[in-house]
């Protein structure tokens, strides 16, 4: 029992030799010489079953590993020599399992630490120290009985250990040396007195040097390994590497060099740096071709679209000209017919008066003759006009047949010669349709410049058109917004009506932006009281987010996209999925034309590093992004800031055109000019503290303030004058205190005065609010219904905030898959335009591979572990920092798109998908330098797979840092986390659970495993020792790959959840 317990406590590298000896000892039962080689050659078959479960952590394939270590079938010469030298007593000199167990239990303690001396045994002790106890010597077991379970007496016929075998010091038996070792007979060094190459001394008890004395790890038995530059087919043969070949340390064969001229005789390792340089050159040429071709593709595509647009504009204008010519000809023909009718009428009247005596037959004949003449004149005029107009149109537009209806509308149909079947419009045809509609709208605008909204509706009704957008009327009743104890908005009452442009003005700090946020439902973190009604119902305004456009004060646009690409992306993702492509083209082109962006449509918007369009144009693009999605409610936060007068008027004209389509437009403006001020329909004037001073038509604001005794001086802009009064800069003529203006507005409209303003009510001389014609005049009979209504409103408000808002916009935008496609196209263009940054990333990775491959040269004893540790740190750091750019630079753009109802999943997946290109290429760039400078034994394919999994893992971690932290903190974490986790995973005293949670542990284990498999034979104990100390398992290669990919997937899920929960800082 004690022996069995000690057997189980032995370190794995030591038990390996124990089983080796146990298998060899089976050959001692037969003394016939031919049987002993068979026992050595069939060693694997004897112990493979036991090894498969005892030493699975360091033996990948028992049969293959043992054949690589002890398969001597190719050359049994050293065994035959030993048989001859021992006179056939080889089996009697091989160690038994008990002797091997005793040797390793004495040489190593339970922790695997080496002892200097073996314990005493029956053959080697203080009273008995035979010649075979010396290193490199062995004795025969003799012919006496062999005690079971103990070390047999072995003191007879002591002689030096045979070549190809090693004899441990303190034991009198021998074991065969593994393949890859060189175990010759030792020779005396006359200078040092040591036995070379094993470095043990000759004792007085021996007559000379023996053979090899031990086999263990490389650090303990370096002299036993076949030297570099040589190969050892058997433990007794050492051959120099021939020219064109190289031989690593512990080789049994010589390997061919890829470039034969680079390998001279006795070459230790092949220099393949030039191959790495060639691979990098090919890679960069390939990337350069891709980038150039991609850039040319985008350029060619833009040029083709530009030509199509130019042709379409020319065709549309010519078509409009032909249309105007046709209308003029038609008016001329009608005038001619009317003149002819009147002339004939006068003629017939005179004939009746002067020729009463004519008979009825002649009169009837003449009366029939005149209409025929009239019809003939009309037909000729119409034919002439039609022929002229048709000829002009057919000349410029041979593929389009134009039909002019009675009401003046142009209907473009297919050419008669068009082929049957499904016909897909070309770019030119689609653009022609869009620009034709735009030109007709311009003509109508010129004819109806001063139409009111009612007039426009009547005109549209006459032309049998309808407003297709749903109308949104927003009402706010007693709306109050608080942040802590501070009230940002107080008792806001009023409404925003469709088809009107409302201006929100007020001094700084009056809560204008807060008011817009309240109207659009962006009230997270605020305490809200009162109610916001949509079309008279207590619906959540966020339920209509798909048809609500919000233009932020900052120009949140994509700087690495062109103006047209920014607008097109918003249109494709936010317009209805059933909208025809030609209608989308019309919408985008109409916005570009109305905002005067034709000249810069193909220009990049620009970033901080790269200048693009001007600030005013950027502001118009910011507005256009919301206009192309055809909103029903359009909210703008200071859209005219930074614009000159002409640009501001241009923008307001575009907004008024949107209002003509039934859009409810509300904009915060700051110090508008008088002309700009008069372009608004309604005005909401806020005072400091978030109180309303005025809410009504712009034309009535001066009348209202005149009732308070305030008049606007001559040559003073009314809004500037009112804001100066609210700021306290100008004192009102009537002597009213500026802070009492909101109270006067409440009294004027009959609104309820808040309790904290009752003192101000008394200060202005009123004991109770003047409710005017308010239905709830404060009488007792109406008190109870008022309380009941207030309770119902409060209940609806609570239910509204507790329930998840449903989509009530009746607009079905593209699904996740289609949005993913659109995002994929956008991100691809962005990456192509950021090719320089990607090239810098590749360059830095390549330089890191050169430096680390040169500094951390491969060391066979540790299987290149230092180089792989540095690789994990460098690749993790560089790839994480590069991954930060995917999300941290577009945080504001994403928040804007998410608030508008775009899919966060499509956004995340598209960016991750495009980043897979870098994930695939970066390991190639790094390994093309590191691998060929470091030159490990494992294949480049195995290293690439592990590095690919590592890059995928750290990219997901980089996503999480970019989304959860600000840029500075994210960069700091990306730099520190790889170093800290790598240090933790390489320390032996790190708890096992914490060690398994560190992703560098799995990457390092994968690198070491693929390298350790390339160290067979004499390296077997070194391999097992390194894996044992590092707590690695040679079978965990696929597990390491899977864990790294699962880490990457897990952190991508975390990043996506954080992306959904992230809020604007």
Task: Give the residues across from 549 on adjacent strands.
Answer: 634
Q: How many Cβ atoms sit within 10 Å of the Cβ of residue 650?
A: 17
Cα atoms in the 13 Å half-sphere on the side-chain side of 454? 0
Highest mean pLDDT among 299-303, 370-374, 1026-1030: 1026-1030
Residues 851 and 266: their CA atoms lie apart, in Å, by: 27
Q: How far is CA 599 from CA 315, 564, 594, 646, in A?
A: 19, 11, 12, 16
**pLDDT score for 25:** 38
| Strand 165-166 versus strand 175-176 pairing type | antiparallel
> Which region among 311-315, 725-729, 923-927 has the lowest average model confidence (pLDDT)?
311-315
- Average pLDDT of 615-639? 92
For the stretch 640-688, pLDDT in tens is: 888 888 888 999 999 998 898 889 999 999 888 889 999 999 999 999 8
Residues 534 and 442: their CA atoms lie apart, in Å, by: 33
For the stretch 621-632, pLDDT in tens is: 999 999 999 999
974 — pLDDT class (breaks 50, 70, 90): very high
Residues 997 and 985: their CA atoms lie apart, in Å, by: 9
Report DSSP letters for 629-692, one per residue: T--SEEEEESTTTT--HHHHHHHHHHHHHHHHTT-EEEEE-SS--HHHHTT-SEEEEEETTTEE
Burial of 1036: CB neighbours in 10 Å, binned 0-12, 13-18, 19+: middle
**pLDDT score for 450:** 53
Q: How far is CA 201 from CA 188, 193, 211, 379, 651, in A?
A: 9, 7, 12, 132, 99
Q: Is the pLDDT of residue 410 over 80?
A: no
- Average pLDDT of 498-508? 91
Architecture, CATH, for domain 474-736+781-802: 3-Layer(aba) Sandwich (3.40)
Task: Give the residues across from 412 on adjacent strands.
Answer: 402
Q: What values do phi and psi take at 31, rounded to 5?
A: -100, 0
What does the longest C-alpha to C-alpha distance in the chain come to? 176
Torsion angle of alpha carbons 696, 700, 701, 705, nearest 10°?
-120
For the stretch 264-297, pLDDT in tens is: 888 888 877 777 778 778 877 877 776 666 666 6
Report DSSP letters for 852-894, one per residue: HHHHS---GGGTTHHHHHHHHHHHHHHHHHHHHTTTGGGHHHH
| Distance from chain centroid for Cα 457 | 47
For the stretch 826-859, pLDDT in tens is: 999 888 888 888 888 888 898 898 889 888 877 8
Report DSSP letters for 566-629, one per residue: HHHHHHHHHS-TT--HHHHHHHHHHHHHHTT-GGGTTSB---SSS--S-HHHHHHHHHHHHHTT
> Which region among 587-596, 749-758, 765-774 has the lowest average model confidence (pLDDT)?
765-774
Say which residue, 118 or 861, is predicted with more confidence.
861
Residues 826 and 894: their CA atoms lie apart, in Å, by: 13
**pLDDT score for 18:** 42
Please answer whether residues 204 and 255 qualify as being in contact, where contact means their C-beta atoms are separated by less than 8 angstroms: no
Residues 320 and 410: their CA atoms lie apart, in Å, by: 9
Residues 137 and 126: their CA atoms lie apart, in Å, by: 18
Residues 619 and 977: their CA atoms lie apart, in Å, by: 41
Residues 793 and 295: their CA atoms lie apart, in Å, by: 59
For the stretch 217-265, pLDDT in tens is: 888 888 889 999 999 998 988 999 998 898 989 898 888 888 777 788 8
Task: Give the residues across from 551 on adjacent strands.
Answer: 636
**pLDDT score for 220:** 80
For the stretch 784-798, pLDDT in tens is: 344 444 555 455 444
For the stretch 22-53, pLDDT in tens is: 444 343 333 334 444 554 444 335 445 555 56
Say which residue, 322 or 992, is predicted with more confidence.
992
From 681, 734, 744, 741, select the one nearest 711 (Cα to Cα).
Answer: 734
- In the chain, where are the structural domains located? 2-225, 274-352+367-414+426-443, 474-736+781-802, 816-1061
Tell me the pLDDT of the chain averaged across its residues: 77
Reduce the DSSP state of residue 1031 to 3 states and report it.
coil
Q: How far is CA 602 from CA 290, 599, 608, 785, in A?
A: 22, 8, 19, 61
Highest mean pLDDT among 141-150, 198-207, 302-311, 447-456: 198-207
Residues 917 and 883: their CA atoms lie apart, in Å, by: 12
- Average pLDDT of 998-1011? 94
Residues 431 and 1052: their CA atoms lie apart, in Å, by: 42
Length of the chain: 1065
> Which region among 134-143, 480-489, 763-772 has the lowest average model confidence (pLDDT)?
763-772
Q: How does DSSP classify residue 396?
A: H
400 — pLDDT class (breaks 50, 70, 90): very low
Sign of CA dihedral 1033, 1038, 1044, 1049: negative
Q: Is the pLDDT of residue 999 over 90?
A: yes
Reduce the DSSP state of residue 989 to 3 states and report it.
coil
What's the per-residue H, E or C state across 117-147? CCCCCCCECCCCECHHHCCCEEEECCCCCCC
Q: How many Cβ atoms sit within 10 Å of the Cβ of residue 468?
A: 10
- Average pLDDT of 124-148? 79
818 — pLDDT class (breaks 50, 70, 90): very high
Residues 660 and 455: their CA atoms lie apart, in Å, by: 10
Residues 662 and 213: their CA atoms lie apart, in Å, by: 99
**pLDDT score for 314:** 67
Residues 772 and 751: their CA atoms lie apart, in Å, by: 9
For the stretch 350-376, pLDDT in tens is: 555 544 444 444 444 433 433 333 333
Task: Give the residues across from 691 on adjacent strands.
Answer: 687
What's the per-residue H, E or C state across 809-825? CCCCCCCHHHHHHHHHH
Q: How many Cβ atoms sit within 10 Å of the Cβ of residue 260?
A: 10
- Sheet of 527-534, strand order: 486-496, 474-483, 527-534
Share of the chain above pLDDT 90, in %: 23
Residues 774 and 974: their CA atoms lie apart, in Å, by: 64
- Average pLDDT of 765-786? 38
Q: What values do phi and psi take at 980, rounded to 5?
A: -65, -45
For the stretch 100-112, pLDDT in tens is: 777 766 765 666 5
Cα atoms in the 13 Å half-sphere on the side-chain side of 772? 11
């Amino acid at each position: 029992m004690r022996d069995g317990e000690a057997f189980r406590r032995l370190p794995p590298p030591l038990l390996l030799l124990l089983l080796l000896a146990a298998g060899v000892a089976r050959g001692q039962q037969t003394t016939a010489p031919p049987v002993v080689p068979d026992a050595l050659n069939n060693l694997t078959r004897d112990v493979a079953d036991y090894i498969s479960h005892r030493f699975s952590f360091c033996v990948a394939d028992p049969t293959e590993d043992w054949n690589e270590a002890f398969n001597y079938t190719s050359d049994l010469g050293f065994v035959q020599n030993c048989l001859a030298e021992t006179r056939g007593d080889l089996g009697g000199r091989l160690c038994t399992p008990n002797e091997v167990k005793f040797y390793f239990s004495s040489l190593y303690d339970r922790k695997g630490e080496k002892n200097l001396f073996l314990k005493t045994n029956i053959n080697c002790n203080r009273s008995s120290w035979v010649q075979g106890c010396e290193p490199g010597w062995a004795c025969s077991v003799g012919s006496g009985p062999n005690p079971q379970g103990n070390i047999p007496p072995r003191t007879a016929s002591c002689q030096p250990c045979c070549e190809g075998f090693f004899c441990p010091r303190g034991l009198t038996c021998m074991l065969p040396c593994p393949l890859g070792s060189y175990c010759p007979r030792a020779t005396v060094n006359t200078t040092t007195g040591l036995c070379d190459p094993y470095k043990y001394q000759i004792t007085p008890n021996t007559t000379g040097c023996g053979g090899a004395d031990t086999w263990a790890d490389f650090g303990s038995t370096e002299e036993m390994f076949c030297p570099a530059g040589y190969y050892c087919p058997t433990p007794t043969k050492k051959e120099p590497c021939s020219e064109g070949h190289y031989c690593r340390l512990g080789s049994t064969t010589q390997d061919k060099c890829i470039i034969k001229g680079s390998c001279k005789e006795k070459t230790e390792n092949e220099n393949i740096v030039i191959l790495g340089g060639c691979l990098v050159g090919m890679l960069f040429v390939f990337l350069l071709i891709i980038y150039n071709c991609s850039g040319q593709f985008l350029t060619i595509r833009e040029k083709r679209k530009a030509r199509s647009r130019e042709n379409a504009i020319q065709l549309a204008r010519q078509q409009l000209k032909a249309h105007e010519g046709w209308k003029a000809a038609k008016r001329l023909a009608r005038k001619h017919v009317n003149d002819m009718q009147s002339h004939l009428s006068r003629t017939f009247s005179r004939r009746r008066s002067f020729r009463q005596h004519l008979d009825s037959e002649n009169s009837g004949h003449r009366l029939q003759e005149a209409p025929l003449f009239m019809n003939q004149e009309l037909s000729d005029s119409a034919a002439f006009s039609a022929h002229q107009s048709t000829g002009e149109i057919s000349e410029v537009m041979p593929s389009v047949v134009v039909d002019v209806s009675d009401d003046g509308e142009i209907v473009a149909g297919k050419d008669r010669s068009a082929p049957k079947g499904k016909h897909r419009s070309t770019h030119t045809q689609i653009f022609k349709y869009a620009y034709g509609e735009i030109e007709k709208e311009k003509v109508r605008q010129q004819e109806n410049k001063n139409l009111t909204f009612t007039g426009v509706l009547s005109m549209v009704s006459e032309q049998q058109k309808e407003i297709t957008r749903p109308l949104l009327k927003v009402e706010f009743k007693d709306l109050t917004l608080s942040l802590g104890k501070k009230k940002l908005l107080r008792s806001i009452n009023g409404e925003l009506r469709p088809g009107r442009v409302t201006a929100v003005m007020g001094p700084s700090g009056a809560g204008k932006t807060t008011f817009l946020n309240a109207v659009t439902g962006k009230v997270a973190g605020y305490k809200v009281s009162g109610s916001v009604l949509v079309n008279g119902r207590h619906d959540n305004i966020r339920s209509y987010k798909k048809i609500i456009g919000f233009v932020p004060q900052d120009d949140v646009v994509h700087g690495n996209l062109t103006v047209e690409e920014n607008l097109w992306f918003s249109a494709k993702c936010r317009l209805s999925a059933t909208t025809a492509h030609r209608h989308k083209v019309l919408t985008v082109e109409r916005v570009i034309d109305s905002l005067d962006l034709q000249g810069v449509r193909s220009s990049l918007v620009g970033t901080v590093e790269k200048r693009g369009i001007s600030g005013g144009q950027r502001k118009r693009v910011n507005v256009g992004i919301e206009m192309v999605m055809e909103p029903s409610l359009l909210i703008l936060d200071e859209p005219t800031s930074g614009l000159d007068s002409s640009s501001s008027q241009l923008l307001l004209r575009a907004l008024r055109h949107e209002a003509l389509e039934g859009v409810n437009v509300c904009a915060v403006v700051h110090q508008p000019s008088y002309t700009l001020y008069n372009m608004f329909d309604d005005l909401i004037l806020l005072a400091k503290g978030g109180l309303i001073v005025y809410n009504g038509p712009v034309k009535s604001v001066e009348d209202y303030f005149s009732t308070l005794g305030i008049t606007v001086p001559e040559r003073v802009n009314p809004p500037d004058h009112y804001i100066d009064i609210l700021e306290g800069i100008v004192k009102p003529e009537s002597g009213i205190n500026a802070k009492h203006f909101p109270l006067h507005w409440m009294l004027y409209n009959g609104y309820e005065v808040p309790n904290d303003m009752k003192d101000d009510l008394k200060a202005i001389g009123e004991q109770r609010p003047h409710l005017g014609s308010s239905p709830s005049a404060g009488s007792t009979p109406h008190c109870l219904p008022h309380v009941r209504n207030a309770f119902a409103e409060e209940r609806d408000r609570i239910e509204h905030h507790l329930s998840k808002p449903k989509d009530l916009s009746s607009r079905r935008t593209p699904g996740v898959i289609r949005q993913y496609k659109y995002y994929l196209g956008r991100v691809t263009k962005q990456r192509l335009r950021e090719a320089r940054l990607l090239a810098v990333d590749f360059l830095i990775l390549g330089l890191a591979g050169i430096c680390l491959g040169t500094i951390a040269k491969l060391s066979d004893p540790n299987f290149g572990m230092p180089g792989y540790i540095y690789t994990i740190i460098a690749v993790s750091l560089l790839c994480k920092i590069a991954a930060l750019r995917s999300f941290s630079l577009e945080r504001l753009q994403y928040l804007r798109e998410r608030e508008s109802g775009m899919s966060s999943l499509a956004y995340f997946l598209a960016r991750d998908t495009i980043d897979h290109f870098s994930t695939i290429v970066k390991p190639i760039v790094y390994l093309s330098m590191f691998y060929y400078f470091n030159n490990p034994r494992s294949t480049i394919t195995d290293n690439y797979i592990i590095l690919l999994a590592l890059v995928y893992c750290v990219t997901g971690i980089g996503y999480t840092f970019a989304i959860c932290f600000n840029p500075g903190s994210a960069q700091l974490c990306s730099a520190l986390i790889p170093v800290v986790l790598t240090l933790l995973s390489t320390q032996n005293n790190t708890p096992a659970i914490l060690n398994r949670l560190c992703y560098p542990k799995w990457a390092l284990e994968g690198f070491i495993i693929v390298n350790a498999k390339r160290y067979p034979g004499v390296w077997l104990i070194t391999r097992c020792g390194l894996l044992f100390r590092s707590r690695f398992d040679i079978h965990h290669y696929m597990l390491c790959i899977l864990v790294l990919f699962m880490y990457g997937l897990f952190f991508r899920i975390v990043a996506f959840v954080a992306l959904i929960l992230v809020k604007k800082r």
